[in-house]
Amino acid sequence: MRMRTIEISVGGFVLAGIIALVFLAVQVSGVNTSQVQDSYAVIARFDDVAGLRARAKVSMAGVTIGRVRSIDVDMQWGDAIVTMDILGEPGNLTTDTSAKILTEGILGARYIGLSPGADEETLADGDEIVETQGALVLENLIGDFLTNIGKS
């Protein structure tokens, strides 16, 4: 086999590999070149996060506006501290924003839903969302239900 044919084939082979990688990165992983967006951190305390994970969605009105960065437990108060990264500059969430832990569908993943408040002041980087509602845990609900039946 002549060296020329071999070199052309190998060049085409490497090129095909590079094109495949670009396709995988852009079309399959959905990387946007303009994805370098600013974000700031907001924390919230929940009495129960029940299956919320790091990197879960943070959404407002069903639109994703951030991700959960980390979840820690506060041993002293027995609640969970969730740190979220909110896209954009500080100043797009009011101080009386409330946070709820919700579930996508019946079996879906847990995510945090934010509802806007009416306050004039806004949350800065590192501020805390005070008004929170933890996840609904089915076992607790059933337990409450049974005790109530027992009482009546």
What is the contact surface with other proteins in residues (CB under 8 A)? 1, 3, 6-7, 9-10, 12-14, 16-17, 20-21, 23-25, 27-31
Nearest distance in Å: CB 24, other proteins: 5
Quick check: helix, strand or coil at residue 68?
strand
Q: How far apart are CA 115 and CA 98, in angstroms?
A: 5
Choose between 14 and 73: whose C-beta lies nearer to other proteins: 14
The Cα–Cα gap between 69 and 81 comes to 11
Question: Is 127 within 8 Å of 76 (Cβ atoms)?
Answer: no
Please identify, using beta-carbon distances, which residue of 54 and 141 lies nearer to other proteins.
54
CB of 27 or CB of 152, closer to other proteins: 27
- 133 backbone dihedrals φ, ψ, rounded to 5°: -135, 120
CB of 7 to other proteins, least distance (A): 6
